[in-house]
Amino acid sequence: MDRKTEGASEGSAAVKRLFKGVPVLCDGAMGTMLYARGVFINRCYDELNLSQPELVREVHIEYLQAGAEVIETNTFGANAFRLEHFGIRDKVREINMAGARLAREAVNQIRDKQAAEAFVAGAIGPLGIRLEPLGKVGLDEAREAFSEQIAALTEGGPGVGVDLLSIETMTSLTEAEQAVAAARAVAPGVPVIVMVTVDEEGNCLDGTSAEMAARRLSDTGADAIGCNCSAGPATVLSVIERMRPLTELPLVAMPNAGIPRAVEGRTIYLTSPEYMASFTRKLVKAGASLVGGCCGTTPSYTRAMRGALRALDAMESGAEVMERRVEAPTTPKISPPPLAQRSKVGAMVAAGEFVSMVEIVPPKGINCSKEIDGAAQMHKLGVDAINVPDSPRASARMSAQSLCVQIQQHVGIETILHYTCRDRNVLSIQSDLLGASSIGLKNILCLTGDPPKLGNYPDATAVFDVDAIGLVNIVRNLNCGLDIGKNSIGESTGFTISVAANPGVPDIDQEVRRFAYKVEAGAEFAITQPVFDLRVLEEFLRRIESFRIPIIAGIWPLTSLRNAEFMKNDLRLAVPDGVMTRMAQAGSPEAARAEGVRIAQEMLAEARPMVQGVQVSAPFGKDKYVAAAQVLGLTEGVGV
């Protein structure tokens, strides 16, 4: 049996024709047509299958009348995760079944009137969330969501459910693989098309090259692979040309009508139907056998593309391009240097030595002389490293990376760069980390980051493309010489990878689960949030014993009762009543600061046998470095 029809072997002979290499015309955009009919963009377009079925059916009929041989159901976003945004997660089955029924009714109506053969493809878009290792949703959860949608689309079998499945606009190869796996498990006899979307350079949005995408998509067991949406027909053409030599599967091309432009307050697509038709011929000659349109295309585009296809000798074009095949490139994976060779902190952690760190917060302006002087004092006293937070509490401050570089250059002490996901997308994250490695920053603390609403600019937007777990995966890949798309960067970035832990968080079960994921992702040691209750630390260490990595305990010398109340109520840290009482009984600000130092010293003495290091957070105020030195028992020469 030919590989390209293997997945469709249980389907009808008519459906198999779609995968024989003869050009087949698919429809265009559904959303564009619904929007043109007055449906507001904030509506759930998939739900229109239930509330305005006639409107959806009319769009299908228009595409069929324009010459489309395959129409897609109005179910692109009809998965549990996307529908949850509209409060209708429980309607996944109902919406998808309605979508399949409406498309089938349109096909039957055209067949009865025009005796034209047409097929229904179940449209399946991305889930709208990030999957592990870069996101919080597991691969099994993704497959479950895809399975639920696919089961509804195919319910009833041929003639009732869809004839084939169109998994499209995939920005992540991992997500595409889960979608195909779900299709093969739930509907093994239904043919599957899977398409990625790419940037203007023709690479997938997760950084994967078109060539590598062709190889990975071919290995999923799909019946056809390709590219849709993206930056218009020229970009999709380049992807098809790059994919064609690397697979024997039929290729699918469904570009949008170019990049949308704002014209007199309206967002419109400027690519004409005639221009799209000219690229239809080029796409077929390049090897695409299923062609159609995406965003911005309408039945007028479909009609023009139908005319272009009539002018082609499709069988000859298909035979020519199917003969070329080369081996797909492979990306070598580099073994990162041993932990002991990456940095001083890494060497101490690897050797089991006790590490002392002091946290120094960047200034709110451009003058960091006080911070550099403080780092110099700590270095003189024998502190091993300086931790530099990344805009803590979402405050606007000098970049942590800048302060780290200046401290290392002027003082010579090693720094640990706190790096959050709050302000950066995955491309910016990769750029920052490559830059950090190139200028000698080798210790990274991977953090999700505080949301902007906690800071002094609450209207600022957050990114959160990934969380701390996803960030650890990115750093680990960079250490192995691979970028976010698993392409080679030439050499290892050589970072030591640390993560945060919060033993006193109210939901300790969730914290332990997330910590386990961080360790699995590649974390090599952890730094805790400030610890004020030894019992909390002991319980956390017991819970993580089976996957424990070296733990650095965070110690924060309190400065006042108000400071203690902030820790307990605002930061939700576990502060025992006894500590609150001691801070309340201090008779003056000076006495309160001294009491806070004594509490921190006691915590460090008790925690020291359990952990492999300490991070002392220098409190705010003119004596903050004095307090940090006192906690560590390093007071000589600090002007106590």
Residues sharing a CB contact under 8 Å with residue 613, sequence separation 6 or more, in sequence order: 348, 349, 354, 355, 356, 357, 384, 550, 551, 552, 553
User: Nearest Cα to 107, choosing from 14, 199, 229?
Assistant: 14
**Tokens of residue 295, six digits:** 């965003």
Write down the residue that tokens 């192995």 correspond to. 480
Element (H, E) at 6: helix 3-6
Contact assessment for residue 340 and residue 351, using Cβ atoms and an 8 Å cutoff: yes
Give 279-308 as a DSSP string: HHHHHHHHTEEEE---TT--HHHHHHHHHH
Write down the residue that tokens 């005319």 correspond to. 307
Q: Which residues of 49-67 are buried (b: 16+ CB within 10 A; e: fewer)?
A: bbebbebbbebbbbbbbbb
User: Nearest Cα to 383, choosing from 416, 352, 420, 418?
Assistant: 416
Known binding-site positions for Zn(2+):
229, 294-295
**Tokens of residue 346, six digits:** 């890494």
- Three-state DSSP class for 504? coil
Amino acid at the residue 173 = L
Contact assessment for residue 272 and residue 38, using Cβ atoms and an 8 Å cutoff: no
Known binding-site positions:
229, 294-295
